[in-house]
Amino acid sequence: MSEEETHMTFEAARQCLLQLKKRLNAELLGQEAVVDQVLIALLSNGHVLIEGVPGLGKTLLVRTLAECFQGAFKRIQFTPDLMPADITGHVLYDMKAAQFRMRKGPVFTNLLLADEINRSPAKTQAALLEVMQEKQVTLEGRAAAIPSPFMVLATQNPIEQEGTYPLPEAELDRFLMKIFMDYPNHADEVALTQKITTGHADDLEAFSHNGAIISAAQISALQGLAADIAVDAQVFDYAVRLVRATRDSAAIQRGAGPRACIGLIRCARAQALLHGSDFVLPDDVKNMALPVMRHRIALSPEMEIDGLNADQVLGPLFSAVEAPRA
């Protein structure tokens, strides 16, 4: 690892991020907000839960991001019969060598796509808890480290409810952000359809494979740079007040915990860096409040009976919290 890769200037970081955004947006048409939020999670060294109907490009997003830094990409299709060992791996006894050998599971990668994560029961989902929080897997009492950088991008389908298992609160809290992926607008959908169907007999042929544009070491350097973005004391206070507002509302049965405060500041720092700023604005905090907290709260029964979702409750709540002006 070179000195240049481990110590990146702010201008070099800005150029790297512009290249990443340009590459991802060229492949994933009409999903600029999703691309930004996934990059923010990557800069924050966190994991994301993506909700959206099939066919919007979730797998393409993860694969393209992995190609950008020659990272390893693996996918787990969660099903009701998936076992924890299918995720983490297991230890086998090698008769010929007369010793135990570790068979590593698909979590030993840089980017892991956990597709339809709520299709498996809680016991299988829990296999991701240790690796998401501690970046390691313990098998037969031995801890094995996961490659760096490491990021889990899990998906769940909002319209297919049969045969699903709700994610445990402890696992939901491990995700830095919950992102909604919606349909592209009309113009982007026309461009996407034209790109894929013109001169290509297979969908994957339509997407370019241009190789890496930054190294894995530079990703780590970007994460370090994001962690050093300046945050004023008033902005720290504002972030905590946003989180605490979820605990004082009658519309919310269970508010967000301290991990939301930490995640909110990390995401705000990453957004500032992504936008080319070396300090965090109150708007950076407010913009990240919904994706950081929408999956960390439980609405009151009255709100659920009225058909309200987390965003409809949190939006007005956050708007009522006064932001610092000085």
pTM comes to: 0.90
Q: Which tokens go with 269?
A: 């720092």
> By mean pLDDT, which of 208-217, 280-289, 299-308 is the weakest?
208-217
The answer to whether the beta carbons of residues 229 and 273 sit under 8 Å apart is: yes
- Both tokens of 297, joined, read 């709260």
| pLDDT of the residue at 223 | 93
Q: What is the count of structural domains for the chain?
A: 1
- E strands within the chain? 48-51, 73-77, 89-94, 99-104, 111-115, 136-139, 142-145, 151-156, 177-180, 252-254, 298-299
Neighbours of 17 (CB within 10 A): 21
Long-range CB pairs of 20-25, under 8 A, 24+ apart, other chains included: 20/68, 20/213, 20/214, 21/274, 23/64, 23/68, 23/210, 23/213, 24/61, 24/64, 24/65, 24/68
User: Using N-to-C axis directions, what is the helix angle for 233-245 and 310-319, rounded to 10°?
Assistant: 140
Residues 6+ apart with CB under 8 A from 196: 203, 206
Among 2, 7, 60, which Cα is nearest to 35's? 60
Say whether 99 sits in a helix, a strand or coil.
strand
- Asked whether the CA dihedral 177, 180, 181, 184 is positive or negative, the reply is negative
Strands (DSSP E) found in 32-85: 48-51, 73-77
- Residue showing tokens 């048409």: 29
- For range 285-303, the mean pLDDT: 95
Which of 11, 13, 9, 10 is closest to 219 using CA atoms?
Answer: 13
The confidence score (pLDDT) of residue 202 equals: 64
pLDDT band at 1 (very low <50, low <70, confident <90, very high): very low
Kindly state whether residue 258 falls inside one of the protein's structural domains.
no
With tokens 């405060």, the residue in question is: 261
Question: Would 282 be classed as within a structural domain?
Answer: no
With respect to residue 74, please indicate whether it lies within any of the assigned structural domains: yes
Question: Structural domain of residue 196, as residue ranges?
Answer: 29-209
Could you tell me if residue 225 is inside a domain? no
| pLDDT the model gives residue 2 | 46
Which amino acid appears at position 113 of this protein? L
User: Are 64 and 207 spatial neighbours (Cβ–Cβ below 8 Å)?
Assistant: yes
Measured N-to-C along each axis, helices 216-227 and 258-274 cross at an angle, to the nearest 10 degrees, of: 110
Query: Cβ atoms within 10 A of the Cβ of 278, count?
Result: 13
pLDDT for position 159: 53
Q: Are strands 252-254 and 177-180 parallel, antiparallel or unpaired?
A: unpaired
* Residue 233: predicted pLDDT: 96
Cis peptide before 149 (omega within 30 of 0): yes
Give the residue-averaged pLDDT of 61-68.
87
Q: Tell whether 313 is covered by a domain.
A: no
- The mean pLDDT value of the chain amounts to 87
**Torsion sign across C-alpha atoms 103, 105, 106, 109:** negative
Question: Domain holding 49: CATH number?
Answer: 3.40.50.300
Helices (H) and strands (E) in the chain, counts: 15, 11
pLDDT band of residue 312 (cuts 50, 70, 90) is: very high
Asked if residue 228 is part of any domain, the answer here is no
pLDDT per residue as tens digits for the range 135-172: 988 877 788 889 889 999 998 876 555 667 778 888 88
pLDDT of residue 203: 63
Q: Is 75 domain-assigned?
A: yes
The per-residue DSSP string of 116-181 comes to TGGGS-HHHHTHHHHHHHHSEEEETTEEEEPPSS-EEEEEE-SS--TT--PPPHHHHTT-SEEEE-
Which of 206, 214, 289 is CA-nearest to residue 244? 289
Residue 68 lies in a domain: yes
